């Protein structure tokens, strides 16, 4: 039986959030869709970050690495190549079109940016939709940005009319009881009929090594990809940690070498500074307390535990992390502190006060990695049902009943 072919796209300008989210989805789809549909899965992860292939893709999947883009105060620019931005976008667009035309996916999931950088993905999606049957989904984290900024971005992506023309559904990876981006004004109301809420992509993330790099009890500070995490890590490395507790600081693979070296020079006894760990979820679950920035993936991983957490959101570029931290703090799932008021003393006092405590997060909808394959099976079902010689791409009885 021919496999279902899936493409997951992320533009990846800053950090690892987009590609990490798509990777979690790839593992979930690969593990669950065959049981729901009776068909195997194969797929491509399209990414713009050179760090992506360091992550383990599912069996039957491969990476396509686009020439990188970065961000400046003036907007997107080539990350490495010495060429005009419009030429880089044109090259990425041709690559995207070639990948979709050659692979002929049944399902395309686009992360966050509906038509990519400077609408680089638009031509590829139009061409894909004009050929063999394909379903296209826009996957959105539960918080986009302040409403004004979010609506400006919708306009740059082509606006609601183009989104309706190119996409079959919009999946929001969150719990509307915690934060509803439609009600908050971050998503055009005219797109509401396309929206499906999946819950947070929290429980069921791929396991790692299951081993710790700390010899005894510890607290954990993590700053995501690390490109903008030095300020928080600098406070963490100077904080007093309760006696008998180690402190693991995960600085992220994108933290500049000079900043990483600075942290290591400042680290005292019992403080370990590393760029990455083999299994962040394992380290989160076994920590006495966690301090973190407010990126989507790290917060999801925290939400899958009962460990007390202090979120110190990014304050530059986007309001996303601040909105996320505020909504989750209001729901009682974590605490937040602004980086501008966080001191080593406040950091240390928070750690001391939270030792031995836990947080019950079970009221939140955390099973998005189960709901997404169900939604995918429902969406793909009409593409395969006409093939009467096949058992049809239809969910098994009882699967796919997803609240909207």
- Distance CA(356)–CA(353), nearest Å, equals 9
Whether 244 and 145 map to the same domain: the answer is: no
Distances from the Cα of 283 to the Cα of 280, 303, 362, angstroms: 5, 14, 20
* Count of domains forming the chain: 2
- Assigned domain for 330 exists: yes
Helix (H), strand (E) counts: the chain: 12, 15
Task: Kindly report the CATH number assigned to the domain that includes residue 46.
Answer: 3.40.50.2000
- Cβ-contact 65, 53 below 8 angstroms: yes
- Cβ-contact 48, 66 below 8 angstroms: yes
Per the DSSP assignment, residues forming a β-bridge with 192 are none
Whether 198 and 232 map to the same domain: the answer is: no
Whether 87 and 140 map to the same domain: the answer is: yes
Q: What are the φ and ψ backbone dihedral angles of 76, each rounded to 5 degrees?
A: -70, 150
Whether 240 and 346 map to the same domain: the answer is: yes
Task: Classify residue 286 as exposed, middle or buried by CB count within 10 Å of its CB (0-12, 13-18, 19+).
Answer: middle
- Cβ-contact 105, 128 below 8 angstroms: yes
- Cβ-contact 249, 221 below 8 angstroms: yes
Whether 229 and 295 map to the same domain: the answer is: yes
Q: At what angle do helices 296-303 and 17-37 cross, to 10 degrees?
A: 60
pLDDT at 391: 38
Q: What is the DSSP letter of 388?
A: T
In this structure, what token pair is assigned to residue 174? 């969150």
Q: What is the DSSP string of 1-21?
A: -PPEEEEEE----SSSHHHHH
- Cβ-contact 228, 329 below 8 angstroms: no
Whether 318 and 268 map to the same domain: the answer is: yes
- Assigned domain for 402 exists: no
In this structure, what token pair is assigned to residue 256? 């500049």
Categorise residue 60: left if φ over 0, alpha if ψ from -120 to 50, beta otherwise: left
Identify the residue whose tokens are 């605490």: 335
User: How many Å separate Cα 280 from the centre of its chain?
Assistant: 14
Task: Classify residue 242 as exposed, middle or buried by CB count within 10 Å of its CB (0-12, 13-18, 19+).
Answer: middle
Enumerate residues 6+ apart whose C-beta is below 8 A from 264: 273
- Assigned domain for 213 exists: no
- Assigned domain for 102 exists: yes
Whether 332 and 378 map to the same domain: the answer is: no
Categorise residue 159: left if φ over 0, alpha if ψ from -120 to 50, beta otherwise: left
- Assigned domain for 389 exists: no
For every one of its 404 residues, what pLDDT tens digit does the chain have, with 9 covering 90 and above? 899 999 999 999 988 999 999 999 999 999 999 999 999 999 999 999 999 998 999 999 999 999 999 988 889 999 999 999 999 999 999 999 999 999 999 999 999 999 999 999 999 999 999 998 999 999 999 999 999 999 999 999 999 999 999 999 999 999 999 999 999 999 999 999 999 999 999 999 988 888 999 999 999 999 999 999 999 999 999 999 999 999 999 999 999 999 999 999 999 999 999 999 999 999 999 999 999 999 999 999 999 999 999 999 998 878 999 999 999 999 999 999 999 999 999 999 999 999 999 999 999 999 999 999 999 999 999 988 755 333 334 443 333 333 33
Whether 43 and 175 map to the same domain: the answer is: yes
Identify the residue whose tokens are 């995918």: 376
Whether 192 and 70 map to the same domain: the answer is: yes
Q: What is the DSSP string of 268-324?
A: -TTEEEES--S-HHHHHHT-S-EEE---HHHHHHHHTS---EEE----SS-SHHHHH
- Assigned domain for 404 exists: no
- Cβ-contact 321, 313 below 8 angstroms: yes
DSSP run (H or E) holding 303 = helix 296-303
Whether 343 and 234 map to the same domain: the answer is: yes
- Assigned domain for 263 exists: yes
Whether 191 and 228 map to the same domain: the answer is: no
pTM: 0.93
- Cβ-contact 144, 319 below 8 angstroms: no
Which residue segment(s) compose the domain that 49 sits in?
A: 4-202+366-384
Whether 182 and 237 map to the same domain: the answer is: no
- Assigned domain for 390 exists: no
């Amino acid at each position: 039986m021919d496999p279902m072919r899936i493409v997951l796209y992320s533009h990846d300008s800053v950090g690892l959030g987009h590609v990490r989210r798509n990777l979690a989805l790839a593992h979930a789809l690969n593990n669950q869709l065959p049981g729901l549909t009776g068909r195997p899965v194969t797929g491509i992860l399209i990414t713009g970050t050179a760090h992506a292939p360091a992550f383990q893709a599912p069996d039957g999947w491969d990476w396509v690495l686009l020439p990188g883009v970065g961000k400046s105060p003036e907007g997107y620019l080539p990350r490495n190549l010495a060429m005009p931005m419009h030429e880089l976008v044109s090259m990425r667009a041709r690559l995207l079109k070639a990948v979709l035309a050659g692979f002929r996916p049944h399902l395309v999931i686009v992360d966050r940016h509906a038509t990519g950088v400077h609408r680089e993905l638009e031509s590829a999606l139009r061409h894909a939709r004009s050929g063999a049957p394909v379903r296209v989904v826009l996957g959105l984290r539960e918080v986009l940005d302040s409403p004004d900024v979010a609506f400006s971005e919708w306009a740059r992506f082509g606006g609601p009319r183009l989104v309706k023309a190119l996409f079959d559904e919009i999946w929001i990876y969150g719990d509307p009881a915690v934060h509803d981006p439609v009600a908050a004004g971050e998503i055009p109301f005219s797109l509401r009929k396309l929206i499906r809420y999946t819950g947070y992509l929290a429980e069921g993330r791929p396991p790692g090594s299951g081993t710790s790099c700390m010899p005894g009890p510890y607290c954990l500070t993590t700053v995501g990809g690390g490109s903008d995490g030095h300020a928080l890590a600098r406070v963490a490395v100077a904080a007093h940690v309760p006696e008998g507790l180690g402190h693991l600081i995960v600085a992220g693979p994108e933290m500049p070498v000079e900043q990483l070296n600075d942290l290591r020079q400042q680290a005292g006894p019992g403080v370990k500074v590393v760029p990455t760990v083999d299994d962040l979820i394992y380290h989160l679950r076994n920590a006495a307390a966690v301090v973190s920035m407010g990126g989507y993936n790290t917060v999801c991983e925290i939400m899958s535990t009962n460990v007390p957490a202090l979120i110190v959101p990014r304050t530059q570029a986007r309001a996303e992390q601040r909105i996320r931290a505020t909504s989750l703090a209001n729901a009682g799932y974590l605490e937040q502190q602004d980086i501008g008021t966080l001191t080593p003393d406040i950091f240390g006092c928070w750690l001391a006060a939270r030792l031995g405590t836990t947080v019950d997060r079970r009221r939140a909808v955390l099973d998005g990695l189960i709901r997404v394959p169900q939604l995918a099976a429902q969406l793909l079902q009409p593409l395969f049902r006409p093939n009467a010689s096949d058992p049809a791409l239809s969910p098994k009885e009882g699967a796919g009943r997803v609240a909207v």
